[in-house]
């Protein structure tokens, strides 16, 4: 008898950093009920360890995640449970105390793109395919819409969600930078250092994020100062919102960019 492989692979790649790998490469890591339940269980286990602070999410094989398992979702007995788990999984990633990275190669479509946008950071291969094909099937991408809206300007988000046209990882990076610049110039003018703060020459201004944000830092200088004074990681200091996290996030992000190679 052939043993059934684990649907999710969990490993600690270094102290404080855990990796979850969606392990249905033959199905392009489509989100089945069993797979999503396994991811949620793995998240519980990782978050229970107060030493863990960063989560890397990736897919086995050539694709990150092809979205919902449509064959299973079409089954009357599993349809409701499948939709419920997608919503729960996206919410868990978005509200986790861990700083989350999505490492995207191949395709990230539908629910797979939703996983990507629910994470705090996404590193995608320039040739990766990212999209929301639901409109072409007459479906509204309602579950993932709120998470995409956090990442992109409204016009870019509408184009993706209403046309169903996929984009590459390189195009996603360009749109994200464009959206970030647009928000910096339109929504944060009160903190501008001068009339040319948002000019093309000056570039987008670094914004300050409140302590309730995904990485919980107010400024890089303050983060470095707090890191030096911080005690060893504990359940209290490791929780989401602790200012100690920023240096780890920055260092891990730089290491991932070196290892991942050419991502956006």
Closest CA relative to residue 204, chosen from 189, 187, 182? 182
pLDDT value of residue 113 = 94
Q: What is the pLDDT of residue 186?
A: 57
Coil vs helix vs strand at 79: helix
User: Whole-angstrom Cα distance, residue 222 to residue 257?
Assistant: 25
pLDDT at 135: 86
Higher pLDDT residue, 226 or 158? 158
What pLDDT, on a 0 to 100 scale, did the predictor assign at position 149? 84
Tokens, residue 240: 């989401």
CB atoms within 10 A of CB 238: 19
pLDDT band for position 143 (50/70/90)? confident
Joined tokens for residue 191:
């903190």
* Chain centre distance of CA 75: 29
Q: Is the pLDDT of residue 218 over 50?
A: no
Residue 165 catalytic?
no
Q: 5 falls in which pLDDT band (50, 70, 90)?
A: confident
| Confidence at residue 260, expressed as pLDDT on a 0 to 100 scale | 56
Mean pLDDT to the nearest integer, 188-205: 41
Distance from C-alpha of 81 to C-alpha of 118, rounded to nearest angstrom: 20
**Residue-range domain boundaries for the chain:** 8-182
**Beta strand extents in 137-234 (DSSP E only):** 167-168
Range of lowest pLDDT (21-35, 173-187, 215-229): 215-229
Cβ 96 vs Cβ 42: under 8 Å: no
| From 47, 58, 72, 134, the catalytic residue | 134
CA distance 8 to 178: 35
What per-residue confidence (pLDDT) applies to 61?
Answer: 96
Q: Would you state the structure tokens that stand for residue 12, as one six-digit string?
A: 């600690």
What is the spatial distance between Cα 209 and Cα 219, in angstroms, rounded to a whole number? 7
The 121-124 sheet, strands edge to edge: 8-14, 17-22, 54-59, 99-104, 121-124
Residue listed under structure tokens 């492989």: 5
CA distance 217 to 151: 18
- φ, ψ at 23 (rounded to 5°): -120, 60
What was the pLDDT predicted at 19? 97
> What is the structure's pLDDT at 239?
43
pLDDT band at residue 73 under the 50/70/90 scheme: confident
What integer pLDDT is reported at residue 43 of this predicted model?
A: 97
151 pLDDT band, cuts 50/70/90, is confident
Q: According to the per-residue pLDDT averaged within each range, which of 71-75, 224-228, 259-263 is highest?
A: 71-75
Domain 8-182: state its class.
Answer: alpha beta
Q: What is the pTM of this model?
A: 0.70
Q: What pairing do the DSSP bridges indicate for beta strands 17-22 and 8-14?
A: antiparallel
Query: Is 187 a residue whose pLDDT tops 70?
Result: no
């Amino acid at each position: 008898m052939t043993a059934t492989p684990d649907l999710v692979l969990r490993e600690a790649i270094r102290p404080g950093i855990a990796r979850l790998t969606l392990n249905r490469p033959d199905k392009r890591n489509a989100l089945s009920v069993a797979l999503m339940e396994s991811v949620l269980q793995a998240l519980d286990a990782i978050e229970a360890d107060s030493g863990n602070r960063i989560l890397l999410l990736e897919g086995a094989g050539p694709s990150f995640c092809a979205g919902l398992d449509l064959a299973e979702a079409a089954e009357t007995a599993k349809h409701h449970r499948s939709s419920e788990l997608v919503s729960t999984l996206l919410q868990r990633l978005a509200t986790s105390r861990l700083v989350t990275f999505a490492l995207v190669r191949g395709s990230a479509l539908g629910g797979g793109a939703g996983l990507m946008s629910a994470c705090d950071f996404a590193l995608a291969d320039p040739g990766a395919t990212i999209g929301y094909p639901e409109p072409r099937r007459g479906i509204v991408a309602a579950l993932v819409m709120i998470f995409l809206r956090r990442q992109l300007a409204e016009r870019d988000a509408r184009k993706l969600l209403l046309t169903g046209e996929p984009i590459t990882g390189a195009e996603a990076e360009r749109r994200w930078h464009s959206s970030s610049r647009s928000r910096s110039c339109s929504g944060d003018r009160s903190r501008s250092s001068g009339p040319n703060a948002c000019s093309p020459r000056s570039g987008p201004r670094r914004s300050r994020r409140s302590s309730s944000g995904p990485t919980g830092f107010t400024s890089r200088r303050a983060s470095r100062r707090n890191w030096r004074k911080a005690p060893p990681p504990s359940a209290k200091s490791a929780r989401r919102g602790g200012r100690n996290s920023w240096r780890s996030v920055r260092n891990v992000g730089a290491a991932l960019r070196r290892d991942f190679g050419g991502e956006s």
